[in-house]
Amino acid sequence: MQKPEGKNRMDKRPGVIRPLFNRMAATYDRGNRTLSLLIDQVWRRRTVSALSLRDGQYVLDIATGTADMALEAARPLLFPAGRRHAGALPGRKL
């Protein structure tokens, strides 16, 4: 099968993707909140609540970005002492 040509074709190599994420890191959260009319915070809280986390459980936020989901999971009321979380992201600035 032939790859599509034109301006919609995206280079997905890590050396291209990392700088893209790093360039948008400084304004990502503000843009996300503005475009979603703060609904992103609501669905994040609901997602963490739906996990019904218990002491000793782990949360891994893959492609954590600015860590909003990991931070929501770490909130003291939802994530009491004894639980652990981690995030992973290929970019350095997000």
* pLDDT tens figures, 48-66: 889 988 777 888 888 787 8
pLDDT exceeds cutoff 60 at 87: yes
Residue 79 lies in a domain: yes
Split at pLDDT 50, 70, 90, the class of 75 is confident
pTM of the model: 0.60
pLDDT for 10 equals 77
Which residue carries 């290929």 as its tokens? 90
Q: What is the pLDDT of residues 4-49, one digit of tens each?
A: 566 667 788 888 888 888 888 778 888 888 999 999 999 998 998 8
Nearest to 85 by CA among 32, 52, 64: 64
Domain count, the chain: 1
Pick 79 or 27 by higher pLDDT.
27
Domain around 45: 41-94
Residue 13 lies in a domain: no
